[in-house]
Structure 1
């Protein structure tokens, strides 16, 4: 689905704003495809799905937005263009900050928040920021290794015969090849600079669910204690995965989301 210069995957069904809307927001150097299973299932089970490509990522034209606040405002403009008055937001990593900020900017429009691989502040190390700017292939390797709980998935992996790490790496390489120079650094800088999380959490008025990867090294669950304290009514679910939980444990993530959204 094309809305102006923005692309949204609708899960194989035509988007219907009369249905409960669910918006999926990807993280740094990714696109809508990280939500392939979850978005498609919900689109075929009673939801209107918009899995976004953020500006400058995937099929959405650039330039990329430079701050979480700008990305959240853009997201709300996409809802306007799609004719969706309200929506549940599902965000991963950088996308979780965008979801949180969107709930701050327009609390009356957000019905639920699902935050995956989320922490605040979401600080990025100087070494990773430098690599993202000056040695992007090294940054991709670093993030890919740190984002998965295992170098090789067990035989019972939901995607047997596929390289979970290989697919994640190839996606980041493709986003790099298609996007503007320094996109990875732009995304990481936005995460690193975001400073409105406390105010955003205080303004949330809808149900919230955190989904943690029990083996997440990028945003370990223990790093979210302050944010959890600011959202005392939030539910928490932990899946046996690293940061890229949607790929490592797609069914467990889907089960958690489906139960929460219903």
Structure 2
């Protein structure tokens, strides 16, 4: 028997169902094929749309969640209405970004800050999903007052005030990571047959050994994000899924209340993988964040 979850957990296990086999996820070759930058002396890969180093337009900087990589953000790259430059890095330890996956959010934030400078980004709208929301907040504070990169805004998809991880799940990411991922899948989708859910599952299933454990360790060790949120002065958009059982909507609202300037958008019936379950309202939010007029539906 798996021990009962703590009160209001973020990630929990409910049973020991076996993982489903899934085909590997691939990217469609396009003008946004990955680019390689040198970050802290090692190659780092990113999918790029447009030129993040050209002009004064804000760049959408996409920060993926635990056990994922740049492929998570394909719906954003495919949105023709987003005409500003877009960049999505693979954090170390996955795809072509060399190094070991970090076990501290602060290390990921320092890496992202260096990566933005390597890519020539001068103005950034930081967009994070789940673990990526913690990285976005840390990066925003790290770059406050920086002469090279200005953070204009944050967009936080499925955030939480505390991103605690069930002990049984954390242990299973070591003992049987495929089964751990299968358990997370059961809690990740409010609309399991959403338009991009199959590829999101494939992306999660393709995580290299040790990555999911490192990422969840980082989330679990971070503790409360409320003090961090209170220190952030730029505008923040918080998007919560009312059917999210990983980072619950009330946790996202609690975090939003700690910011100085935050707006909350709630998506009915939508779970943790909101971009893949119901992409249009999320894409509309991103368009608005970079000045493309589009109603949030």
Q: Residue 84 of structure 1 aligns to a residue in which SS? A: coil
2:271 to 242, 258, 262: 242
For residues 211-248 of structure 1, the C-alpha deviation after alignment (integer angstroms, 9 at most, x for no partner) is 11121000011123432221142011122411001111
How many Å separate the matches in 2 of 1:212 and 1:150?
Answer: 14
Q: Which residue of 2 aligns with 1:142?
A: 183
* Number of residue pairs aligned between Structure 1 and Structure 2: 247
For residues 163-212 of structure 1, the C-alpha deviation after alignment (integer angstroms, 9 at most, x for no partner) is x2x4333212212xxx3x32211100000101462332122121100011
1:209 to 216, 237, 247: 237
Instruction: Please list every run of 5 or more consecutive structure 1 residues that lacks an aligned counterpart in the other structure.
Output: none
CA change 1:94–1:119 in 2 (3 A) is: same
CA change 1:14–1:228 in 2 (3 A) is: closer
How many Å separate the matches in 2 of 1:222 and 1:49?
Answer: 30
How many Å separate the matches in 2 of 1:93 and 1:75?
Answer: 16
Instruction: Please list every run of 5 or more consecutive structure 2 residues that lacks an aligned counterpart in the other structure.
Output: 1-34, 292-297
Runs of 4+ in 1 over 3 A off after TM superposition: 13-17
How many Å separate the matches in 2 of 1:225 and 1:149?
Answer: 18
How many Å separate the matches in 2 of 1:212 and 1:226?
Answer: 11
Q: Residue 65 of structure 2 aligns to a residue in which SS? A: coil
1:3 to 37, 40, 57: 37
Write the mapping of 1:188-207 to structure 2, written as runs, cut at 5 A: 188-195=216-223, 197-207=225-235
Q: Which residue of 1 aligns with 2:255?
A: 227
How many Å separate the matches in 1 of 2:237 and 2:105?
Answer: 20
CA change 1:168–1:46 in 2 (3 A) is: closer
How many Å separate the matches in 1 of 2:154 and 2:53?
Answer: 20
How many Å separate the matches in 2 of 1:203 and 1:24?
Answer: 21
- Does the CA contact (< 8 Å) of 1:25 and 1:51 recur in 2? yes
**TM-score between the two structures when normalised by the length of structure 2:** 0.78
In proportion to residue count, which structure has more helix?
Answer: 1
CA RMSD in angstroms, aligned pairs only:
1.8
Q: Which has the larger radius of gyration?
A: 2
